[in-house]
Amino acid sequence: MLDKIKKKSNYKILDYIIPLVLLIILSQTLDIPKKFYKVISVKYDTRLVNYYGYCSKEGYGFIKDLKKKYNFKFNPIIINYSVYPSPYWIISDTYKKQNIDNIILINYPNNYNLTFNKILKNKFISINQIEHSTGIESINFELSDSNQKYFNTKINIYKKNFKENKYLKSFKIENLYKKKISIPVNFFSEELNERLNSFIIEVENNNTEIEKIYFSMFNKYDIKKMKILENTGNCYYVKK
């Protein structure tokens, strides 16, 4: 009888010891104590900056500093040039009106280009997204070495869709042959603003090898035409 009781007691002890040992091993393997210390020792705002970025990602730190400094009596417009969720939650107050003349720009691009990579000899697909443009300023070609004197071609632009690509615009290009060619087109349209879908270029009458195509885009929020109130890296607070 005593032996049975002892065995049961030993089993009960093992039931507690084994999970405890496994928990200790797991916590050491995943470095849980160190991570927990970091969480409780780092300030809340610092943790948010580390996660949402200062002047990157959603620009949490930059926007928060502006909110403290200017104590906005309105909601400024916030534009993020990278594909992240809207950062309005950082600053927006439903009781305040929006002021369209005061704009916060996050991840502002130095060169606002829509770039295409070659997928077939005469077919190219866009590899990035543009969301805040008013159209194409110029079309740029990078060509292979050739003895050609002239570069003559036609490009057709389509928006890629699941069922059928949507035709947007065609351009006929005639120029002296150079390895790099930039053609001003000044084509104004917001059809090229797209967060998800890609764009296709099909080339006709191509007499040479095109290596790369990119569009220089008009920026809807051109800081050269605005008053800069604050600037850190690629983040700006501007006024029209």
For 36-60, write each residue's pLDDT tens digit.
445 544 577 788 888 889 999 999 9
Residue 169 has pLDDT above 70, yes or no: yes
Judge if 121 and 33 occupy the same domain: no
Judge if 183 and 235 occupy the same domain: no
Q: Are 59 and 232 in contact (CB under 8 A)?
A: no
Residues whose CB is less than 8 angstroms from the CB of residue 152 and which lie 6 or more positions away in sequence, other chains included: 173, 174, 205, 207
Judge if 152 and 213 occupy the same domain: yes
The HSE-up count of residue 110 (CA atoms within 13 Å, CB side) is: 2
**What's the domain range around 70?**
46-108+223-239
Question: Could you give the 3-state DSSP secondary structure of residue 181?
Answer: strand
Judge if 82 and 23 occupy the same domain: no
Residue 104 has pLDDT above 90, yes or no: yes
Judge if 156 and 203 occupy the same domain: yes
Judge if 117 and 215 occupy the same domain: yes
- For residue 2, the model assigns a pLDDT of 43
State the total domains in the chain: 3
Judge if 176 and 192 occupy the same domain: yes
Nearest to 142 by CA among 184, 183, 180, 116: 180
Judge if 124 and 99 occupy the same domain: no
Model pTM score: 0.76
Name the band, by pLDDT with cuts 50, 70 and 90, for residue 172.
Answer: very high
Residue 176 has pLDDT above 70, yes or no: yes
Judge if 234 and 215 occupy the same domain: no
What is the mean predicted confidence (pLDDT) over 85-92? 83
